[in-house]
Amino acid sequence: MRAIRGATQVAENTREHILQATTELLAEIMNRNGLTTDDVVSVLFTATPDLNAEFPAFAARKAGFHDVPLLCAAEVDVPGALPRVVRLMMYAGVDRPRADIQHVYLHGAMSLRQDIAG
């Protein structure tokens, strides 16, 4: 089992923008890592406090993660932190070295982890 990290910056705090950005992030993670939803054990989403128009997990349900356990939580409200960010940690049942895992950071969130962002 491996943990896969990802994050994206959402353009606006609207339902549509949160769903679109989360769907894009999930698709990139799945594609870059060659995963199907059957490989995914669970996904933990966090959103910065300024994103409250929709649950990021709802985008995952709409994208086919029907029987995958999903959880949303609020990110720590650190002064000066990058705004409007959805983060996730996906646990996947894959048998490959940790170094082969592709972590995905999109849009403004690329600045968060340039050391592992692919």
Residue 96 is a catalytic residue: no
Joined tokens for residue 68: 């995958």
Query: Binding site for prephenate: which residues?
Result: 5, 87, 105
Instruction: Using the structure block, give the residue that is written with the tokens 């549509």.
Output: 16
% of the chain with per-residue pLDDT over 90: 90
Lowest mean pLDDT among 29-33, 80-84, 85-89, 107-111: 107-111
Instruction: Using the structure block, give the residue that is written with the tokens 């592709």.
Output: 102
Residue 91 is a catalytic residue: no
Residue 2 is a catalytic residue: no
97 CA to centre of own chain = 21
Whole-Å CA distances, 105 to 22, 66, 95? 11, 24, 23
Out of 24, 28, 72, 91, which one is annotated catalytic?
A: 72
% of the chain with per-residue pLDDT over 70: 97
pLDDT in tens, 55-102: 999 999 999 999 999 999 999 999 999 999 999 999 999 999 999 999
| pLDDT of 37 over the 80 cut | yes
Joined tokens for residue 22: 């989360």
Instruction: Using the structure block, give the residue that is written with the tokens 């049942």.
Output: 93
Task: Report the predicted TM-score, pTM, of the whole model to 2 decimal places.
Answer: 0.93
Indicate the CATH number of 2-111 among 3.30.1330.40, 3.40.228.10, 3.30.530.20, 1.25.40.10.
Answer: 3.30.1330.40
Whole-Å CA distances, 74 to 49, 53, 56, 85? 6, 13, 11, 10
